Structure formats: structure tokens, C-alpha cells
Amino acid sequence: MDSNFKIFLKGIRDVSPLMIPVVPFGLIFGVLAIDVGFTPMQTMGMSLIVFGGASQIVLLQLFSGGASSLVIISSVGAVNSRHLLYGAVVSEHLSDLKLIWKIIISYFLIDQAFAISNEYLKKNKNRNRYFHLVGGGATCWVIWQSTTFFGIILGASIPEELGLSFAVPLTFLALLVNDFRKLINIFVIIVSGAVATFGYNYIPFKAYVIVAALSGLFTAIILTKKKKLYE
């Protein structure tokens, strides 16, 4: 069995390619937060306390648009609803752990670490396999905090024309490259994407993320059932 540290390092190695787009994302967040009126301390505090790129960007967007605190908090909750599903997926691998480890790992359960470690956890059954998730999460933590910091310092000197925010959908797209090879997954992707795009302005509280995800899962339930009937 590999040592805890070795698995931790493997988590770092595996998640590293996904960290490249996190760099512009963190910088953009730092720059934007100062721009919409948060102090440098609050901006850094947001990255430390919330530690979630999508949540923090949604927070900024709604804050600058003058949304009420209740709407901002519920929207952040809706954007984060995907973590419920991540948690449900990885909890199977963590159920033997002590509560303190569950508390620590929960803080690191972010998109990139989940995507990478979910693959690892499925293939490996060693008892200390969760160190992979800690390694991936900790790597992302370091990158996120340092790029937030540099974003605050750099401020407005990053040209907006570069359109670096486009790196965000590209990152998520890159996480799906294997799923584009499977027919049912393609249907699920299209349904979820269409619901999110067309519901974006109509579904209240930015809940389009959870509504789209549930539509996608519902599609998966129906199609996998149909597939079984024909097998």
C-alpha cells in the first residue's frame, strides 16, 4: 500500500493540469472584488472563508448589481448545490473516517479536486485513498489564495480585452472531455446546458444551476432505464 504522503503527492500531480486555468480565474477574482468595492482584507477573507471560485464570482456579480444579501446568499447556495452531489459521490469512500477528517476534507471538496479524485477513488480501494483528495484540494487552495493575493495587488493593470474570464467555461469543458464519447452523457450535457442557458434569466435566485443539473440527472435516469430495456 502506498504511504499517505505518496498518495497526497499523487493528488497534487493529478490536479496540476487543472490549476493552469485557476490562475487567471483567481487573478480576475482579485481584480474584480476590489473593483466592485470590497477592501483587500475582505477580498482575501472571501477566498479563505468561501474558497469557491464560482460562488465568489456569483457573489461579486450580484453584489455589484445591488442585489439584497438574502438573494446573494441563496444564489451562492444554489451555485453550490452541486457540492451536495459531489459529497454524495465521495462520501462512499469516506464513510469509515473520523469526523475530524470529514470536517477537514469537506473544506477541500472543490470542483477540480472532486473531478480528479473521483476517478482515483473509483479505481483504488486502499484505506488511505482519501489523501488523494486532500492533495488535490490543498494544491488548489494554495493556488487560489496566492492568485487572489496577486489579483488584489495587480488591480486594474490586467487588460480586460484578453477576456480571461472565458478560461472559466473552458476549464469545466475540459473536465468533460471523456464524457463527450458516451451517447447518454452527450444527451445529459445538452439538456443541462439548454436548461441553464434558457433558464438563466427566468429561474429565480440564479437557481438555474440546480434546475439544469436536476434536469440532466432526470435525463440520465430515463435514458439509462431505456437502454436497459433494449439490452
Q: How far apart are CA 10 and CA 30, in angstroms?
A: 29
Residue 201 dihedral angles phi and psi, to the nearest 5°: -95, -10
Q: How far is the CB of 106 from another protein (least distance, A)?
A: 4
Does residue 60 touch another protein according to CB under 8 A?
A: no
Q: How far is CA 215 from the centre of its chain?
A: 19
| Minimum distance, C-beta of residue 42 to another protein, in the bound complex (Å) | 5
Q: How far is the CB of 107 from another protein (least distance, A)?
A: 7
Position 204 contacts another protein (CB under 8 A): no
Kindly tell me the number of DSSP H helices and DSSP E strands found in the chain: 11, 0
Residue window 63-92: x/- pattern of binding to another protein, with contact defined by CB under 8 A: x-----x--xx--xx--xxxxxxxxxxxxx
Count of residues in the chain: 231
Rounded distance, CA 119 to CA 16, Å? 15
CA distance 80 to 230: 36
- Closer to another protein at the Cβ: 7 or 43? 43
According to DSSP H, which parts of the chain are helical?
4-19, 22-35, 40-49, 53-64, 69-94, 99-107, 111-123, 131-154, 167-174, 183-199, 208-230
Q: In the range 206-225, which residues lie near another protein by CB under 8 A?
A: 208-209, 212-217, 219-221, 224
What is the rounded CA–CA span in Å between residue 76 and residue 192? 19
Is residue 178 a contact residue for another protein (CB under 8 A)? Answer: yes
Q: Which is nearer to another protein, 7 or 110 (CB)?
A: 110
Which residue's C-alpha cell is 438563466?
A: 200
Q: Would you count residue 162 as binding another protein (CB under 8 A)? A: yes
Is residue 107 close enough to count as binding another protein by CB under 8 A? yes
Kindly state the number of chain residues that form the binding site for another protein, as judged by CB under 8 A.
92
Nearest distance from C-beta of residue 169 to another protein, angstroms: 4
Q: Which of 94, 138, 154, 158 binds another protein (CB under 8 A)?
A: 94
Smallest separation (angstroms) from another protein to the CB of 102: 5
Question: Binding another protein by CB under 8 A: which of 103, 126, 153, 155?
Answer: 103
- How far is residue 227's CA from residue 231's CA, in Å, rounded to a whole number? 6
32, 34, 46, 140: which one contacts another protein (CB under 8 A)? 46
7 part of the interface to another protein, by CB under 8 A: no
Q: Are 31 and 165 in contact (CB under 8 A)?
A: no
Using an 8 Å Cβ cutoff, are 211 and 203 in contact? yes
Q: How far is the CB of 214 from another protein (least distance, A)?
A: 8
Which of positions 21-40 make contact with another protein (CB under 8 A)?
21, 38-39
> Would you say 155 and 34 are in contact if contact means Cβ atoms under 8 Å apart?
yes
